């Protein structure tokens, strides 16, 4: 396992804990600022004084938080004024992991490439066995995962020409081997 994948594994472990907390508690309906301010028995005016703002600005802040229109800086300053610490994280959706996201993207790219090449070959009257296509998809997926780089997230169209030629050669070679193997088996059966 290379250093990059070790980092991903460590991040996934940390993010799993954040996901658990987020799923278990979520964001209060009134937002964190108002919920904590109320729990501390602090009025909007008192928080405003601590921040050097007006009471109406605190009301705007609390409303903006509920509508996802607040800045991180504002939340950090409000938390600090309430003797709290502002903490946030970006976590993968639906309890997935970074590894899941990478694997899904690799499978998507592999499927698009193999499907396009198989279509090209079928237009040239070179049908390809489904097992060969599946093996090619699996091998390409694994290769993409093992050689992860910034191009991985580039729009697929910019990468396709190079990979199509390489994949076309590989599929054609596998298809030819499969065809020769079938002919050999047929010849052996005829000799019996």
pLDDT in tens, the chain (192 residues): 578 889 999 999 999 998 988 888 889 999 999 999 999 999 999 999 999 999 999 999 999 999 999 999 999 999 999 999 999 889 999 889 999 999 999 999 998 888 888 777 766 667 777 888 888 899 989 988 888 888 888 865 445 544 555 555 555 565 565 655 565 666 666 665
- What distance in Å separates the CA atoms of residue 34 and residue 31, rounded to the nearest whole number? 6
- What distance in Å separates the CA atoms of residue 31 and residue 37, rounded to the nearest whole number? 10
**Burial class of 135 by CB neighbour count within 10 A (0 to 12, 13 to 18, 19+):** middle
Q: What is the pLDDT of residue 129?
A: 77
- What distance in Å separates the CA atoms of residue 35 and residue 25, rounded to the nearest whole number? 13
- What distance in Å separates the CA atoms of residue 77 and residue 83, rounded to the nearest whole number? 10
- What distance in Å separates the CA atoms of residue 23 and residue 43, rounded to the nearest whole number? 29
Q: Find the DSSP H helices in the chain.
A: 3-25, 32-39, 44-51, 55-66, 72-81, 98-123, 130-146, 160-191
Q: What is the pLDDT of residue 162?
A: 46
- What distance in Å separates the CA atoms of residue 113 and residue 136, rounded to the nearest whole number? 10
- What distance in Å separates the CA atoms of residue 92 and residue 5, rounded to the nearest whole number? 16
* Inter-axis angle of helices 55-66 and 72-81, nearest 10: 120
SS3 167: helix
- What distance in Å separates the CA atoms of residue 90 and residue 36, rounded to the nearest whole number? 22
Residues 107, 141: contact at Cβ < 8 Å?
yes
């Amino acid at each position: 396992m290379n250093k990059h994948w070790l980092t991903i594994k460590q991040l996934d472990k940390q993010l799993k804990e954040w996901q658990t907390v987020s799923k278990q508690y979520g964001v209060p309906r009134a937002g964190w600022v108002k919920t904590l301010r109320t729990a501390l028995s602090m009025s909007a005016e008192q928080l405003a004084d601590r921040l050097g703002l007006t009471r109406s600005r605190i009301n705007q802040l609390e409303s903006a938080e509920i509508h996802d229109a607040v800045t991180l800086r504002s939340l950090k300053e409000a938390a600090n004024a309430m003797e709290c610490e502002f903490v946030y994280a970006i976590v993968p959706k639906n309890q997935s992991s970074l590894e899941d996201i990478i694997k899904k993207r690799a499978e998507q790219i592999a499927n698009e490439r193999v499907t396009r090449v198989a279509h090209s070959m079928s237009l040239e009257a070179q049908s390809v066995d489904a097992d060969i296509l599946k093996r090619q998809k699996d091998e390409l997926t694994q290769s993409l995962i093992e050689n992860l780089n910034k191009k991985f997230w580039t729009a697929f169209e910019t990468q396709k020409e190079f990979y199509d030629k390489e994949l076309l050669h590989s599929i054609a070679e596998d298809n030819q081997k499969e065809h020769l193997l079938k002919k050999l088996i047929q010849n052996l059966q005829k000799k019996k």
